[in-house]
A and B are shown apart, each in its own frame.
Chain A
């Protein structure tokens, strides 16, 4: 599964650390998701989408 978290972070001028703190996870988890090493749970995926104010399908692309 691919994702566009890095793009949305850049658009919102957010660091991985700041986003991780907002979502209550570690920075390493955000990094692992961005690099495609870890697929987040449905709950975390919804949190990410809700944080950026977009739909989940705009951030996560299932391939």
Chain B
């Protein structure tokens, strides 16, 4: 398999993942995107191993290794700090999950006499679960960190590539 074909395959896989994410949200099924993403990564990994015209020598391997390690160290510190903060929020919550007093009707439904506006209530008239909302925001934050780490990796990659002479030129340069 040629390397350019692999890049096309990676682009297609990315589009499929976006579609899976949309469907996952649409059907409220988190397993769809979770399993789909893992399957996509495995597929790309197997395809990458079949690329015949890639040339990775020891210098390129060293650049990739150093960039990956530096990114991982930054990611570990930031992710751990954020997780600690989230754990403190979770542990400090008065009750989990949070419920308002139920009325006489269906269990879990709020007392209508409290005049809670519909905008506060979730679908079906239930009180939104504050714990779930926090976890949802934590998910957004994780995604944002992952995207930031991608750019950080590119930055480290450029730094180490420059350090190990990736863009050096000489008289033999075209």
Interface of A with B (CB < 8 Å)? 15-17, 24-29, 31-32, 34-35, 37-38, 40-41, 43-44
- Interface-side segment among B29-37, B147-155, B166-174: B166-174
Interface CB pairs A-B, < 8 A, 11:
A16-B170, A24-B57, A26-B60, A28-B59, A28-B165, A28-B166, A29-B58, A29-B60, A32-B164, A37-B163, A38-B164
List the B side residues contacting A41 at CB < 8 Å: 58
B115 at the interface (CB under 8 A from A): no
Kindly count the residue-residue contacts between A and B in the assembled complex, taking CB atoms under 8 Å apart. 46
Please name the 10 residue pairs, one residue from A and one from B, whose CB atoms are nearest each other, closest first: A32-B165, A37-B165, A25-B57, A29-B59, A38-B164, A29-B57, A41-B58, A38-B59, A16-B172, A26-B57
Residue of B58, B59, B163, B164 most packed against chain A (CB within 10 A): B59
Asked if B59 and A26 sit within 8 Å, CB to CB, the answer is yes
B52 at the interface (CB under 8 A from A): no
Indicate whether A32 sits within 8 Å of B170 (C-beta atoms), given known contacts A38-B164, A38-B165. Answer: no
Asked if A35 and B168 sit within 8 Å, CB to CB, the answer is yes
**Nearest-neighbor residue (CB-CB) of B170 within chain A:** A31
A26 to chain B, nearest CB (A): 5
